[in-house]
Amino acid sequence: MVDANGVPVRDAVVELHSARKSAAPIRFPWKMGMAQKGLQFTPGTLVVAKGSTVAFPNLDQVRHSIYSFSKPARFEIDLYGRDQTRTQTFPITGSVKLGCNIHDDMRGYIRVTDTPFAGKTDHNGYVTLTGMPTGSASVTVWHPQLRGPANEMKSAFNVSGAAQ
């Protein structure tokens, strides 16, 4: 994925939604955690399955108080210090913008999805999603700087056997 100037877009979330829904639980290979380290959220963008509980370990020497006013998850985690962890569950799909009440420059994003075919682009703008069933599908791309409704772009497509 590249921007209008041909520059790779890092941390764009790509979700593929198949018309053929699966009842299997969604499990991603990465940790459901977003640390505070160096006065930043790490990773800056995290993709989680709907209903996931995310751990927020504080690895900084200072205390943090995490919050979100986003519609899918409005919450506030009171101050907590180094080597302490708090958790939050995300039961609704959508984009969650995070901040810290103490450190105004801290921003993080959690994309809550209901598809197992989701991931975020790497520093070269690539994401690999495998195992998509054939047939009708749609793709949703989300990035905090994407111009569009809810910072998203959507498109329909058809998955053939060769595209899996």
Residues 122 and 69 in one domain: no
- pLDDT at 164 exceeding the cut of 70: no
Residues 58 and 73 in one domain: yes
Residues 40 and 109 in one domain: yes
CATH code at position 109: 2.60.40.420
CATH code at position 121: 2.60.40.1120
- Mean pLDDT over the full length of the chain: 94
Rounded-to-integer distance, Cα 35 and Cα 16, Å: 27
In SS3 terms, the chain reads as: CECCCCCECCCCEEEEEECCCCCCCCCCCCCCECEECCCCEECCEEEEECCEEEEEEECCCCCECEEEEECCEEEECCCECCCCEEEEEECCCEEEEEEECCCCCCEEEEEEECCCCEEECCCCCCCCCCCCCCEEEEEEEECCCCCCHHHEEEEEEEECHHHC
Residue 140: closest CA among 159, 153, 131: 153
Residues 70 and 5 in one domain: no
pTM value is 0.92
Domain of 129?
1-23+116-164
- pLDDT at 162 exceeding the cut of 60: no
- In total, how many domains does the chain have? 2
Q: 134-151: per-residue pLDDT in tens?
A: 899 999 999 999 988 899
Residues 156 and 97 in one domain: no
Q: 82-98: per-residue pLDDT in tens?
A: 999 999 999 999 999 99
Residue 102: closest CA among 76, 130, 134: 76
Residues 32 and 7 in one domain: no
Residues 38 and 104 in one domain: yes
Residues 83 and 38 in one domain: yes
Residues 15 and 31 in one domain: no
